[in-house]
Structure 1
Amino acid sequence: MSEPTEIRTQPVVARRRRTVLKAGGTLLISLLTPLTARAAQILAVRMWPAEDYTRVTLENDSDLKTQHFTLENPDRLVIDIEGIDLNPTLKSLVAKVQPNDPYVSQIRVGQNKPHIVRLVFDLKEKINPQVFTLAPVGEYQHRLVFDLYPVNPPDPIAALIREGKWSIDDPVTESLPSPGTPPLAETTPPREPGKTPQPQVSRMLTITLDPGHGGEDPGAIGPRGTREKDIVLAIAKRLKTKLEREPNMRVMLTRDADFFVPLGTRVQKARRVNADLFVSIHADAFVKPTANGSSVFALSEKGASSTAARWLANKENAADLIGGTNVRGGADKQLASVLFDLSTTAQINDSLKLGKTVLQEIGGINRLHKNAVEQAGFAVLKAPDIPSILIETAFISNPQEEVRLRDPAYQEQMAEAIAQGIKRYFAKNPPLSKSRMM
C-alpha cells in the first residue's frame, strides 16, 4: 500500500518545487527590472544665452552619463546622453534656441540608440564646451549642464572701447590729488598769486556693478513670485545710466542679462578693468516675512558683525551651488583663501567709507535695517585691491517691500541714492593715480 503512495507523492513535490522557483525568479526579475530597464526622466530643460557663454541645463531625476565631441565644417557639438529615452520635455529643447544666441544656431535631438539620446548643437562659431553634472540642491534635482564658451572670450576692456567708454590712450599715471579735491572737476581753477597750484586727478573712474544671482540662480523669491535676479538687474541698469552721466565715470556690469556668473568670476571681471569700486546689488529674503529695511555690507577679516550678517553671507556664498559652476569645492576654497589673504586693512577701511556714504543716502528713501555698515565674509567682496560693498536694497520676502521693489519709481529712487553715495565718496576720497593691471 505504501508503494503507490510514494509514486503519487514525487510529482506533487516536484511541481511545488518548480512553482516556488518560478515565483522566486519572477520576484527577482521584478526587483531588477527598475534598476536595469527604467530610463531616467528629463523633468525640465532651460537655456541661458549670453555673450560670456551659453548654458543649457537638463534637469532629471537621476545622475546621467554623457560623451561629447566637436565637429568642423560646419562647427557642431555632439552630445550622447546615456540612460534616457526621447520624451516631449527633451524635444522642447529645440524651441529654446533664441535668434540672438551668440553661439548656437539650432539644436537637433534624436534617439541615437536604445536608451541613448543624441543632441547636436549647430554652432555659429567654434566653442570650448564644458559638460558636467550638479547634485540636487535647493529646488533643483539632478542637473546635466552644457556650458558653451567662445574660443576667444570677450574682453571687458574691448567692450568698453566699443561703447566709447575706454580709450586706448587712457592715462594710467596722473598727479596725486590734494586732500579734499573734488574728482569731478575737469578744469584747473585759476591760480591765486603767490600760491603753488595743487595737483588734481582727471582720470576716468571705473565702477563695476554686480547684479546678484542670474540664470539658474533666481536668488530670493517674494510672496508674489518676484525674483531677486530680475529686480537687481533692473536697479543696476538704472544706476549705470546715472553714473555714466558723469563726465569721468564709466561702468561695467558683471552681467547685463539673465545668466549666471560664478562669484570668483565677478571679482575677476572687476580686476580685469582695474575697477575703482565694486558694488554688488541684492534684494534678499529672511526667514521672517516681517524683516524689512535696507542694509550695506563690507568685507570682514575677523568674523561677521552680527549673526544675521553671518547668516546672509553664508546664504550669498552658496550662490555657486545653486547657479552651478564647474569648479570643484577644493579649487573654490583655495581661491577664496588666496583672495582673503590678499585682502588688506586699507581695502576694508575704504569699503567701510564707501558703505557709510551709500547707507546715508539710502536712508533717505527707505528704513535702514541697521544704522551702520555691517561686515561679514562675503566671497564676492574679496577683491584684494578694490573697495567693495554689497547692498541689500530691501527684503523681497516682506510683502510690502516686494511691492516697492517691483515699482519702477522705487527702483529709480534706489539707483539715485546709490549714485549720490558713490559721488559723495569720491568727493571725500579722491582717487589716487594707479597703473593699469594686466
Structure 2
Amino acid sequence: MILPLLMLCIALAPAWPAHAGSPISVKNVRVTDTKTNTRAVFDLSGPADPKLFQLKNPDRVVLDFADAHLDGAFDAPGATGQMQDVRVGRHGKHGLRVVLDMKSSVQPKSFLLDPSGGMGYRLVLDMSAHGQGASVAARQTAPVGERKVLVAVDPGHGGKDVGARGPNGLYEKTVTLAIGKRLAALIDKQPGMKAMLTRTGDYYVPLEKRFEMAREHKADLFVSIHANSCPHHCDARGASVWVLSTHGKESEAGRWLAHSENASDLVGGVSLDNKSHTLAAVLLDLSQGASMHASREVGHDVLGALKGIIPLYKRKVQHANFVVLRSPDVPSILVETAFISSRRDERLLRSPSYREKMAHAIMTGIQGYFRTTPPPGTWFAAQWARKHGVQVAMKPSDASKSSTLSADADTQDLHKVSNGETLSGIAQQYGVSIHAIKDAN
C-alpha cells in the first residue's frame, strides 16, 4: 500500500536554478512499506547515478547527486516504516544531498529504472531491516535441490568470420576460442558450476543462434568473449564489459511481439501464446527488465575482477545493442578482453599466461555474482542457506526435485503490477528472488 505523505521537518526552498550542463531534476518521491522493507522511489528528469552511503549515530541513509536540483513541486514524505524523516539540501556547488533518517540500521540498495509505461526515469532505493529481510528471503528461496548453475560461454566470431585482426596478424576468432575454452574449463572445475560452449572449434555460428542455444539449455548466464579493435591506429587499449542497451531491449521486444513464431515460446518460463498483445508486452518487459538488471550486476562483478590484470578501457559497465545480448530471459554480458588493434594488447592476447589470467578473472566475477545472487535450487543457494542457518523442509516425494519453499501463511503473496514496475524491483520489495516469482506464476 502507498502510505500518506507527511510534511518535512525542514522548509524546502524553491527549485534551484539550473546551471550549464542540464542537471538532473529530482521531481518527486514515493514511499511504500512492507514488514521488512521500506522503498523510496525518486522520479527524475533523466538518468542519474548518485553516491549511496550510510551514517551512524543516528542511523541515516544518504544519496549524493553530483549534478542535480530539486523540482519546485517536490513533496517529501515523513515517517514511513523504518524511515523517520527526509531532509534535502545542497551538496557542493551543483549537487543535491538527500538524507533519510532511519529508526535503526538498514541495508540500503539502489538501482535505476529506465522510462517505461508512460513514466520517466526512476531511482529506486530499497532499505531492508537488518535481521528481518534476509530471514524472509531465506524462508522463501531456500533450495531443496542443489543443481549446478549453467554458464553459456560464447567465443566470438569463428570460421569465415575472423573478427578483428591485430597489427601482427592475430585473429580475434583465435583469441576468443582460446579464452572461451579456458573459461569453460575453469567453470567446470568450480563446485556448483558447469559450462557449455556455443562453439568448440573454428566454425561460424549465427549471432542469434548463440543466445538461442543458451535459452535452449536453460542457462543461468550468457557470456560472450571478444577482443576490441580501434580503426585508424588509435592508441586505445584495455578491457571492458557490455550489456544490452535500453534501445536494444525495446527493438528486441518489438521483434518478439511482431513475429508470430515467438508466440508459443517461453519468456521467463511463461508462454506468450493466447495472451493479449498488452499482457504479452508486460510479461516480456518484466522478464527483460529482470534480465537486464541481473546483467548489469554480474557485469559489474566481472569488471571488478578484470581490474587487476589489465587497465580498463571503460571503468563502468557499458550499454550497446549487440545481437548476442538480446535474450529476453537470460542475463547476458559481452567481455572485450583487450584491444587486438593495440600492439601491446595483441602481445598479451597472444600470451597463454594472459589468456589464463583473463579466463580466471571472468570466472571469479561470475562466481562472485552467483555467491551473492544464487538462483533457487542451486548449489550456491544451498550454501547460502547453510551459511545463514536456514532449515529446508523436504517432502519424500520431492527428494529428487529442485524447488523452493512456499511463503509463510501471513506473507503477502499477491501483487498488482503497476505501470513502470519491473520483476527485479518487485522481488526486492518483497524480499524474494526473481526465480521464485517466475515459479509462482
Query: Bigger radius of gyration, 1 or 2?
Result: 1
TM-score normalised over the length of structure 2:
0.46
TM-score normalised over the length of structure 1:
0.46
RCO higher in 1 or 2 (8 Å CA, sep ≥ 6)? 2
